[in-house]
Amino acid sequence: MSDGVQRVGIVLVSHSAAVAESVALLAQDLAGGGTGPVAPAGGTADGGLGTSSDLVAAAAHRVDRGAGVAILADLGSAVLTVKALIAEGDELPALSRLLDAPFVEGAVAAVVTASAGGDLTAVAAAAQEAYSYRKV
């Protein structure tokens, strides 16, 4: 990164590896491609549907550049697993935060904001704002 800004890392936790990977690609493409660290953590470690706390923790450490890690999760166990990891205290990078946001829209908003150099607060706000974008 030429501007020297430490980007906020983004982790996308879905029940499905395919969903997490696809949403990561979508968000990165819409953000202008590959300017910030984004990692999918979908499915269980053996490739099934579900959540793996090990995959989530590994993804969070992979995208951590010291500016914080914003985590988005889709449903039930994905949300609960991230919350439990955060409560654990030492499993995730110090500045890790679960965003209260819709998964796809929130991921796009978060990645765009992070790619533009926004800090963790700005990334969280942008992702959460995606809830207010009504479709009808």
Give residues in contact with other proteins (CB under 8 A): 44, 48-54, 76-77, 80-81, 83-85, 87-88
CA separation for the pair 80, 15 (Å, rounded)? 12
Least distance from C-beta 11 to other proteins, angstroms? 16
Is 50 or 117 the residue whose CB approaches other proteins more closely?
A: 50
Least distance from C-beta 43 to other proteins, angstroms? 9
Amino acid at 126: A
Rounded to 5°, angle at Cα 81 from 35 and 66: 35
Is 19 or 112 the residue whose CB approaches other proteins more closely?
A: 19
Could you write out the DSSP letters of every residue in 105-132?
HHHHHHHHHHHTT--HHHHHHHHHHGGG
Is 48 or 66 the residue whose CB approaches other proteins more closely?
A: 48
